[in-house]
Amino acid sequence: MDAQRIWKQTLDIVRLSISEANFSTWFSNTFISEIKILEDDKQIVEIGCPSSFLRSTIEERYTSLLQDALNQVTGKKNNISFTIKQNPYKTKNELQFSPLFNSQINKDELFEKAVKNAHLIPAYTFENFAVSSTNQMAWAAASAVAKNPGSSYNPLFIWGGVGVGKTHLMVAIGYEILKNNPNCRVFYCMGEEFTSQIIEAIKTKTTNEFKRKYRSTQVLLLDDIQFLAGKTAVQEEFFHTFNTIQREGGQIVMTSDRPPEDIQRLEERLRSRFEGGLIVDISPPDFELRTAILLIKAKQRGIQIPMNIAQLIASKIESPRKIEGFLIKLISESTTKGIPIDENLVFDLIGKPNGEKTFHPVSHQEIIRKICEYYNLNKKQLLGEGRSRKLVLPRQILMYILRKELKLPLEEIGRIVGGRDHTTVMHAVEKISNLISTNKEISEGLMRIKNFSSPNN
């Protein structure tokens, strides 16, 4: 068998084990430049590569694959060496393989470059995103958009409180699209940044550049759109950008801390555009999700946290952002002091004055006061006999907090809440526990009452 035939059959085998893009990138112009026979069943095959870059990549990644394939084709033991040479058989068609033949740039490199150009935040991928009932809908919508940008839900509008994972999910869409097509022009931008760029462009009379940049985007990820509120010139430009991208078949994804109808001073034509797509919300994460987030974040840092410790932290800290902050502190404390990550360390850090702000209510009076304040009721209404929903829900939330946070006995709670019997208390606690993960009004109310999501954290 001549060298060319051997090489062709070898590459036919190699081709089965690597992606088409990699195959054509690395092997399209390779050839056998020499075969040195050592013994009957041993030989050295010298492989010609057109550049040193190709040579070192092939040598590093594919030597053993090539060796196995050569052994299979020749029935001999082959050793491989490499040389840098132009392919003398290049013009012959028989060695041409795929349409990607000319591409010398590896798909991985292209992807990395695209991620950088798109300004995506590292590690905010679907693989690192945990799903539960509080974000299931948003996740499903985001996955659908990532699979079929520009067609399924356009625009996709994701809203929810601070730290619930809006940015993460939005960026994950960008990653997924680029993974499937690194040539897609994806761009992530914060509403604030978008705003200041337009204002700057108007000031320096460079709006054309701005327009070119944004209007040629195929997938625009605009984060925290509420920053556009009240800024007429910015909204005007966004409206045109929006229309151009959509007209060209592109995809728009937006996030906000509130639904479109609650964004004050938003032009009606924009609002109606937003409402023409899909609007999904994410509620604050439940206990299971917080545990999962903690485990994911720890794993990303190469740390294994025992399940009971993860659950302990998740039960104490409600905001995913603070969970991550706490984790960093925990890891650094454990490594600098050389102590294990255990319950003692967790309690130690949570208890510190400048540690995480967790919920330590002083008394039931304090909780009653906070609930009255939040729901705009007086104490008599909250603890009284009124049966309207406006009163019943806050009352049940009160019983829930007294039970879950102060761990008071049912009878005692009944006594505090206007002399009710323990089955009423039990029923209320059960009801709120069941609703907490699905009902945004309740979960948000709880968060606010417990001071976990003041707008500045």
176, 281, 286, 324: residue in contact with ligand ADP (rule CB under 6 A): 324
Of 282, 314, 386, 160, the residue nearest 396 (C-alpha): 386
Question: In angstroms, what is the minimal distance from the CB of 157 to ligand ADP?
Answer: 13
Indicate the residue among 113 and 299 with the shorter CB distance to ligand ADP. 299
Indicate the residue among 293 and 417 with the shorter CB distance to ligand ADP. 293
Q: Burial, 88: exposed, middle or buried (Cβ in 10 Å; 0-12, 13-18, 19+)?
A: exposed
Q: What is the DSSP letter of 388?
A: S
Task: For the segment 283-312, give every residue that binds ligand ADP (CB under 6 A).
Answer: 289, 293, 296
Question: In angstroms, what is the minimal distance from the CB of 168 to Mg ion?
Answer: 8
Q: Which amino acid is at 172?
A: A
The residue range among 6-14, 123-131, 334-342, 420-428 that interacts with ligand ADP, by the rule CB under 6 A, is 123-131
**What does the alpha-carbon distance between residue 176 and residue 53 come to, in Å, rounded to a whole number?**
28
8 Å CB contact between 418 and 123:
no
Residue with the two structure tokens 């556009």: 228
Question: In angstroms, what is the minimal distance from the CB of 323 to ligand ADP?
Answer: 7
Does residue number 130 form part of the binding site for ligand ADP (CB under 6 A)?
Answer: yes
Q: Which amino acid is at 60?
A: E
Q: Which does 129 bind (CB under 5 to 8 A by kind): Mg ion, ligand ADP, none?
A: ligand ADP
Q: Which does 270 bind (CB under 5 to 8 A by kind): Mg ion, ligand ADP, none?
A: none
Q: Which does 293 bind (CB under 5 to 8 A by kind): ligand ADP, Mg ion, none?
A: ligand ADP
Return the H-helix or E-strand segment holding 252.
Answer: strand 251-256
Residues that bind Mg ion (CB under 5 A): 166-167
Indicate the residue among 24 and 226 with the shorter CB distance to Mg ion. 226
Distances in Å between the Cα of 215 and the Cα atoms of 121, 165, 229 are 22, 27, 21
Question: In angstroms, what is the minimal distance from the CB of 70 to ligand ADP?
Answer: 46
Residue 291, token pair as written in the block: 């545990």
Indicate the residue among 126 and 274 with the shorter CB distance to ligand ADP. 126
DSSP 321-375: HHHHHHHHHHHHHHHHHT---SHHHHHHHHHSTTS--------HHHHHHHHHHHH
β partners of residue 45: 35, 80
Indicate the residue among 279 and 397 with the shorter CB distance to ligand ADP. 279
31, 129, 157, 274: residue in contact with ligand ADP (rule CB under 6 A): 129
Does residue number 78 form part of the binding site for ligand ADP (CB under 6 A)?
Answer: no
Residue with the two structure tokens 């809908």: 137
Each residue 162-191 as x (binds ligand ADP by CB under 6 A) or -, in order, gives xxxxxxx-----------------------
Q: Which does 190 bind (CB under 5 to 8 A by kind): Mg ion, ligand ADP, none?
A: none
Question: In angstroms, what is the minimal distance from the CB of 224 to ligand ADP?
Answer: 8
If phi over 0 gives left and psi between -120 and 50 gives alpha, with beta otherwise, what is residue 143? Answer: alpha
SS3 259: coil
Question: In angstroms, what is the minimal distance from the CB of 403 to ligand ADP?
Answer: 27
Determine how β-strand 186-190 pairs with β-strand 219-223.
parallel
φ/ψ of residue 90, rounded to 5 = -50, -40
Question: In angstroms, what is the minimal distance from the CB of 167 to Mg ion?
Answer: 3
β partners of residue 356: none
Residue with the two structure tokens 């190709």: 54
Residue 4, token pair as written in the block: 């060319």
Does residue number 13 form part of the binding site for ligand ADP (CB under 6 A)?
Answer: no
8 Å CB contact between 299 and 139:
no
Question: In angstroms, what is the minimal distance from the CB of 260 to Mg ion?
Answer: 17
15, 179, 321, 448: residue in contact with ligand ADP (rule CB under 6 A): 321
CA dihedral 24, 28, 30, 32 (to 10 degrees): 100
Task: For the segment 344-363, give every residue that binds ligand ADP (CB under 6 A).
Answer: none
Residue 12, token pair as written in the block: 């036919």
Indicate the residue among 263 and 402 with the shorter CB distance to Mg ion. 263
Q: Which does 244 bind (CB under 5 to 8 A by kind): Mg ion, ligand ADP, none?
A: none
> Residue 170, Cβ neighbours under 10 Å: how many?
25
Question: In angstroms, what is the minimal distance from the CB of 54 to ligand ADP?
Answer: 38
SS3 223: strand
Q: Which does 321 bind (CB under 5 to 8 A by kind): Mg ion, ligand ADP, none?
A: ligand ADP
Question: In angstroms, what is the minimal distance from the CB of 356 to Mg ion?
Answer: 20
The residue range among 156-164, 263-271, 328-336, 413-421 that interacts with ligand ADP, by the rule CB under 6 A, is 156-164
Q: Give me the residues that bind ligand ADP (CB under 6 A), please.
A: 124, 128-130, 135, 160, 162-168, 289, 293, 296, 320-321, 324
